[in-house]
Amino acid sequence: MADNARIFKLAFEEGYITKGQLDSINFEQVDFDSVSITTCGDEDDATETTFFFKIDQDEALILNLAGGLLANETSEPGTISSAIPSASELIYRLFTDDVTQDYFCDVVPPLEPMVMEENTATGGTLNIETKVRSVTKDVKNYGHTISITGLALTNDQNESITDTSTFEYGTFTTSTVNSARLEEPFSNYSEIDNYTECLENPTDSTIRLVKVINDELIALDIPFDSLANMATQEELPRKIDVSTGLLKYVVTNTFSSSDMVCTDIELAEDIQNWYYDSTYGTLKIETLEGEPDESGNITYTHNFIIDSLILTLRGIGEDANDVQLPIINSVEMGSYTTFGN
C-alpha cells in the first residue's frame, strides 16, 4: 500500500474514522504516489511558488508551502524545513466528481465539482531537499523533493492520529541559467577572491586552479612559465590556447569540491557530473608587480581574460552527443597571486 493510503488506513484502524466514513470517502484507496505535483505556473520565478496540488480523479492533496523555502542551489539534507500547520498547510479534499487544474487555477473557480470532504493536517514537519537533476547547454534544472514526517490528522471529535514515518509528497522542478550563460558569463565567480591550487597538478609543467560555488566549479590548467614573477608589458599579455580543455566548468548533483578535479578519488555511484570543456579560445594573462614589503617580498597579480571562448558540454553515455555553447567574446576569469623577491 502506498504511503498516503497507509496513513488513512492507519487512521481507520486506530478509530480515528469510522468504517462508514472510510467507505463513503474511500480513504483506503487514496494514493497520490504516482501523481505528479502540479502548480498554476503563475510565478515569474518558479522558486517563489507556494501553492501545489496533486489530483487523482475526484481527490486532491493540496500543499500551501511557506515562502522562501525554494532556491536554485543544492541544499544540505535536513536544513530546509517547515512546520505544519503553523507555517505550511496540507489539505486532503474529496470532490463530488472528477476535478481538474482549472478548479484551482481559474480566477473564478467553476461551481462544479463541489467539495464533499476536507481534512487539514494538524501537525507534521515538511522537509525539502534540493539538488541538480539535469543540465543543458543553457540551464541547470533543480529538483526540490518535498517530504513530510509525523503527519497528524484530527477529526471533528478532536481525536488525533500521527504517522511517525515519512512520506514523499513529490518533486517540483525549477530551472536557472548556468554560469556560462549569464549575461556576464562566470561573473558569479568574481565574488571568490582567490583560486585554490590543486596539490596534485595535471602535469609536471602545469598548475590547476579551482573555484567552487555550491554545486559547480571552474578549473583552469595553466603552464607554470605563464605565471612567471615578472610584470608583462602593457598590451602584451602572455597568451595560451585553451582549445584542448584547459578550462573546465563542472556541474554536479551534490556539493562540489576541488577534490573532484584535483585528485583521482572515485566518486560515489549516485554522484553525477556534467562537464563543459573549452574547445576554442585564448587565455590572456596580464601580470602586475606590486611594491616590495619590508622584507623585500613582491606580490605578483596575474589577471585572467579569455577571448573567443567556446565551451562544449560533453554528452553522457555512449549515445549522447556533445553540445557546443555559443561563443563568448571575452570573459574575465579572476586572478591568481604569486610571491617573489
CA within 13 Å, CB half, 109: 12
Dist. CA 261–CA 221, nearest whole Å:
11
If asked whether residues 199 and 148 sit together in one domain, one would say no
Residue that wins the pLDDT comparison between 107 and 53:
53
Q: Is there a contact between 213 and 190 (Cβ–Cβ < 8 Å)?
A: no
Segment among 16-20, 21-25, 106-110 with least mean pLDDT: 21-25
Residue that wins the pLDDT comparison between 260 and 18:
260
Closest listed residue to residue 146, CA positions, set 162, 124, 130: 130
If asked whether residues 92 and 210 sit together in one domain, one would say no
Secondary structure class of 40 (helix, strand, coil): coil
Closest listed residue to residue 250, CA positions, set 237, 259, 241: 259
Residue 227 has what pLDDT?
Answer: 96
Residue 1 has what pLDDT?
Answer: 40
If asked whether residues 27 and 103 sit together in one domain, one would say yes
If asked whether residues 100 and 205 sit together in one domain, one would say no
Which residues are CB-contacts of 237 (< 8 A; sequence separation ≥ 6)?
284, 285, 286, 305
Confidence tier at 156 by pLDDT (50, 70, 90): low
If asked whether residues 161 and 292 sit together in one domain, one would say no
Domain boundary residue among 115, 146, 177? 177
Q: How far is CA 299 from the centre of its chain?
A: 38
Backbone angles phi, psi at 309, to 5 degrees: -80, 130
Q: Could you tell me where the DSSP H helices lie in 44-179?
A: 101-105
If asked whether residues 114 and 194 sit together in one domain, one would say no
If asked whether residues 197 and 317 sit together in one domain, one would say yes
Residue 339 has what pLDDT?
Answer: 92
Domain boundary residue among 144, 160, 177? 177
Q: How far is CA 105 from the centre of its chain?
A: 27
pLDDT digits (tens, 9 = 90+) for 34-47: 889 999 988 899 99
Q: Can you name the residues that pair with 81 across neighbouring β-strands?
A: 127
Q: Is there a contact between 324 and 312 (Cβ–Cβ < 8 Å)?
A: yes
Q: Is there a contact between 227 and 259 (Cβ–Cβ < 8 Å)?
A: no
If asked whether residues 149 and 183 sit together in one domain, one would say no
DSSP 253: S
Task: For residues 215-228, give the mean pLDDT.
Answer: 97
DSSP 200: S
Cell of 294: 619590508
pLDDT digits (tens, 9 = 90+) for 29-78: 456 778 899 999 888 999 999 999 999 999 999 999 999 999 999 999 99
If asked whether residues 184 and 49 sit together in one domain, one would say no
DSSP 251: E
Q: Is there a contact between 146 and 168 (Cβ–Cβ < 8 Å)?
A: yes
pLDDT of 19 above 50 = no
pLDDT of 27 above 70 = no
pTM above 0.85, yes or no: yes
Expressed as residue numbers, the domain containing 270 is: 179-340
Residue 266 has what pLDDT?
Answer: 78
Which residues are CB-contacts of 156 (< 8 A; sequence separation ≥ 6)?
none
Domain boundary residue among 119, 142, 177? 177
Q: How far is CA 160 from the centre of its chain?
A: 36
pLDDT digits (tens, 9 = 90+) for 166-207: 889 999 999 999 999 999 999 999 999 899 999 988 899 999
Which residues are CB-contacts of 174 (< 8 A; sequence separation ≥ 6)?
46, 47, 70, 72, 141, 142, 144
If asked whether residues 39 and 165 sit together in one domain, one would say yes
Cell of 2: 502506498
Dist. CA 184–CA 309, nearest whole Å:
13
Residue 271 has what pLDDT?
Answer: 92
Dist. CA 258–CA 93, nearest whole Å:
49
If asked whether residues 100 and 18 sit together in one domain, one would say yes
Identity of the residue numbered 275: Y
Residue 267 has what pLDDT?
Answer: 80
If asked whether residues 188 and 110 sit together in one domain, one would say no
Residue 31 has what pLDDT?
Answer: 65
Q: Can you name the residues that pair with 177 across neighbouring β-strands?
A: 139
Confidence tier at 15 by pLDDT (50, 70, 90): very low
Backbone angles phi, psi at 105, to 5 degrees: -110, -20
Confidence tier at 13 by pLDDT (50, 70, 90): very low
Closest listed residue to residue 152, CA positions, set 119, 112, 192: 119
Percent of the chain past pLDDT 90, that is, above it, reads 72
The domain tally of the chain equals 2
